[in-house]
Amino acid sequence: MAWRWSQLVRTLQLGQSRFSNIHSRRLNLPLKFSIRVGATSSFQSRIYSSASSASSADSSPILPENSTTTKVVESTKAETILSSLNDSELAKFAAIAETWWDLEGPFKPLHLMNPTRLSFIRSTLCRCFRKDPYGPRPFEGLKILDVGCGGGILSEPLARMGATVTGIDAVDKNIKIASLHASLDPLTSSIEYCCTTAEQMVEEQRKFDAVIALEVIEHVANPAEFCKSLSALTIPSGATVISTINRSMRAYASAIVMAEYVLQWLPKGTHHWSSLLTPEELVLILQRASISVQEMAGFVYNPLTGKWSLSDDISVNFILFGTKNSQ
């Protein structure tokens, strides 16, 4: 196995804080969690086709200008709430917001990764809430929050799986694009899109069965506060799913140097090395926010097939599932 669990256990037992740029105090946290890595592999392969079909409708052309919009909510008090937003990151994504549904544009890597992300989400949430992962609408009855929803490329397949979805993003252009695209399909037109922040949602006392933040935490100013907000938005024993990039030399070489500067899959400057978190650091932050990590997996890209798959290798991209403590 690429990642040594003994190293993680030692880190947690010693209560080490190896991310002073994230939090200045030591994190003396109890070692009370169980992580399953690689447990999804065989299970995911059986439901991959179902998740892929749910996301297949995402391969849509650029939006027509005369489309109607779904429900969009703008928060008027967001400026007054303590926020983990990073203004420079917001400006960066606002500049490319119109390309969310361009399958050959800056967000092409996320479109390619989406079926694999959905496989992990489908299996973990169905196990958490005792749902049938093979059913056509396995998330029926679940309220799911998509934090940093962007143009809605994750919100839409979640809605097609039966969930009641709320997507939030601090970039107004993203919300408008997401709303416009969702309105084109009756199965996704019920998605509630809000131009707001997780912190503002906490102030409004919103609660969800599951809170998902994919490829978001590396772009916020304060990951610890951000995770506290995710926890506050989750019901007791509810689910949290986060994906991000590991702060490893291999990730620097592949996700930054190769993806941004050589292959130019992403705009230069999309990711900053100092903003990335290691799996150990993220587990510690989540524990402090009353979220116990239950499962973790890596994403690996096959350049020959052009597809992503789940793996035990979390040295570059990884995704985790956790549950909020009941007390």
203 annotated among ligand-binding-site residues: no
**Three-state secondary structure call for residue 241:** strand
313 annotated among ligand-binding-site residues: no
Phi, psi of 63 (to 5 degrees): -70, 140
Q: Are 132 and 159 in contact (CB under 8 A)?
A: no
Q: Give which of 174, 166, 128 is closest to 147, Cα–Cα.
A: 166
25 annotated among ligand-binding-site residues: no
192 annotated among ligand-binding-site residues: no
Give the DSSP letter of residue 94: H
Rounded CA-CA distance 123/239 in Å is: 12
Which are the contacts of 168, defined by CB distance < 8 A and separation ≥ 6?
145, 146, 147, 148, 149, 193, 194, 195, 196, 197, 198, 201
Residue identified by tokens 């949290």 is: 240
Dihedral of alpha carbons 233, 239, 240, 243, sign: negative
Give the DSSP letter of residue 4: -
DSSP annotation string for 285-321: HHHHTTEEEEEEEEEEEETTTTEEEEES--SSEEEEE
Rounded CA-CA distance 278/250 in Å is: 12
Burial of 235 from C-beta contacts in 10 A (0-12 / 13-18 / 19+): middle
**Three-state secondary structure call for residue 322:** strand
Pairing of strands 208-214, 234-245: parallel
272 annotated among ligand-binding-site residues: no
Binding-site annotation: residue ranges for S-adenosyl-L-methionine: 117, 148, 169, 214
Detail the residues annotated as belonging to a binding site.
117, 148, 169, 214-215, 218-219
Binding residues for Mg(2+): 215, 218-219
